[in-house]
């Protein structure tokens, strides 16, 4: 039996691929190439004067101590959000993956936060933890805890990490739950008969069998913390205090949109793009080997 379909000539395969190619080119390659081009320009906001400056925007960028700080913030922020949101979601999924009264209600409620836009999620958390407006923020203060995200960088970082984690848990939960339900019951039952306790069953059977899902979520979560979290940071802290919560993507947004510094902002986007491509490649190259499909 012939497995591969084949076409005479290139016309038909090309035509069949065309819609996908057009979409990729239009919505990915074209904007990306624009960003690369823009990163070599020095331009005023209105585009009335433009100068080609080679790598000057990049030089300025790497000599800016604020950029190094944004790098460190990004590492702290993304590690914390990924680890927290993946582990909490896994815990919740394991708990939800059994016969529970009202289990469907828990599952539905846990999925809801995913429908909340990042900026709105940020506002929700500010309403809870603002030291003047927030119920919980005021509660912390009345307990004598010096909670002040307006001025204390660690408090502010903690707050954006919590908000960004909360937002992502639902998504991870959904995939973990589906992953858990796909694990054959027979394997687990065999382990039970062999006398394996729940913890041992989890680490030796469930967790390895869940690894394709975990790997997929890791990639998605890294993309999420790198690119989708600036709305949360913008509404919760605005990058402050004193730049303590300014991550790479927030800086792209703040310099480009707030500061009309298109060249510098584009150079940052290019750096960010290269980083995420590199990170994803590393993940596929090294971590995927440990994944058993």
Comparing CB distances to another protein, the nearer of 150 and 200 is 150
Strands (E), the chain: 41-43, 50-52
Choices 40-48, 170-178, 199-207, 222-230; region in contact with another protein by CB under 8 A: 40-48
Encoded tokens for 196? 């394996």
Choices 2-10, 47-55, 76-84, 218-226; region in contact with another protein by CB under 8 A: 47-55
The reply on whether position 62 binds another protein by CB under 8 A is: no
Indicate if the alpha-carbon torsion angle 63, 66, 67, 73 is positive or negative: positive
CB of 113 to another protein, least distance (A): 24
CB of 78 to another protein, least distance (A): 22
Comparing CB distances to another protein, the nearer of 113 and 240 is 240
Choices 1-9, 125-133, 208-216, 271-279; region in contact with another protein by CB under 8 A: 125-133
DSSP notation for 141-210: HHTT----TTT-HHHHHHHHHHHHHHHHHHHHHHHHHHHHHTS-HHHHHHHHHTT--HHHHIIIIIHHHT
The reply on whether position 261 binds another protein by CB under 8 A is: yes
Choices 26-34, 43-51, 189-197, 216-224; region in contact with another protein by CB under 8 A: 43-51
The reply on whether position 51 binds another protein by CB under 8 A is: yes
**Strand, helix or coil at 52?**
strand
Binding mask 69-88 for another protein (x = CB under 8 A): --------------------
CB of 67 to another protein, least distance (A): 12
The reply on whether position 260 binds another protein by CB under 8 A is: yes
Helix, strand, coil in percent for the chain, rounding step 5: 75, 0, 25
**Contacting residue, 114, 119, 153, 283, with another protein by CB under 8 A:** 153
Give CA 31 to chain center in angstroms.
Answer: 21
Question: What's the Cα-to-Cα distance from 122 to each of 28, 38, 113, 137, 224, rounded to whole Å?
Answer: 28, 31, 12, 15, 15
The reply on whether position 200 binds another protein by CB under 8 A is: no
Comparing CB distances to another protein, the nearer of 212 and 241 is 241
Residues 238-257 that bind another protein (CB under 8 A): 238-243, 254-255, 257
Q: How many residues bind another protein (CB under 8 A)?
A: 31
Q: Which of 286-293's residues contact partners 24+ apart within 8 Å by CB, and which partners?
A: 287/215, 287/218, 288/215, 290/211, 291/211, 291/212, 291/214, 291/215, 292/208, 292/209, 292/211, 292/212, 293/212
| Residues lying near another protein in the complex (CB under 8 A) | 42-49, 51, 60, 131-133, 141, 150-153, 238-243, 254-255, 257-261
């Amino acid at each position: 039996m012939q497995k591969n379909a084949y076409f005479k000539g290139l016309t038909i395969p090309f035509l069949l691929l065309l819609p996908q190619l057009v979409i990729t080119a239009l919505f990915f390659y074209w904007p990306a190439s624009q960003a690369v081009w823009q990163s070599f320009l020095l331009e005023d906001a209105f585009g009335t004067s433009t100068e080609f400056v080679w790598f000057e925007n990049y030089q300025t960028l790497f000599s800016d101590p604020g950029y190094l700080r944004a790098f460190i913030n990004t590492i702290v922020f993304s590690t914390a959000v990924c680890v927290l949101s993946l582990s909490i979601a896994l815990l919740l999924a394991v708990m939800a993956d059994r016969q529970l009264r009202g289990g469907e209600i828990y599952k539905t409620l846990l999925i809801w936060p995913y429908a909340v836009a990042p900026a709105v999620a940020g506002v929700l958390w500010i309403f809870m933890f603002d030291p003047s407006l927030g119920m919980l923020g005021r509660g912390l203060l009345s307990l004598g805890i010096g909670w002040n995200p307006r001025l204390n960088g660690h408090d502010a970082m903690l707050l954006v990490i919590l908000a960004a984690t909360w937002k992502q848990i639902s998504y991870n939960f959904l995939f973990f739950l589906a992953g858990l339900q796909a694990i054959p019951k027979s394997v687990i039952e065999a382990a039970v008969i062999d006398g394996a306790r729940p913890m041992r069953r989890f680490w030796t059977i469930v967790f390895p069998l869940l690894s394709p899902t975990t790997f997929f979520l890791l990639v998605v979560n890294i993309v999420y913390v790198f690119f989708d979290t600036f709305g949360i940071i913008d509404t919760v802290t605005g990058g402050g205090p004193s730049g303590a919560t300014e991550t790479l993507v927030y800086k792209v947004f703040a310099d480009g949109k707030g500061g009309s510094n298109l060249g510098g902002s584009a150079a940052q986007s290019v750096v960010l793009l290269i980083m995420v491509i590199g990170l994803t490649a590393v993940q596929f190259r090294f971590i995927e080997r440990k994944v058993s499909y």
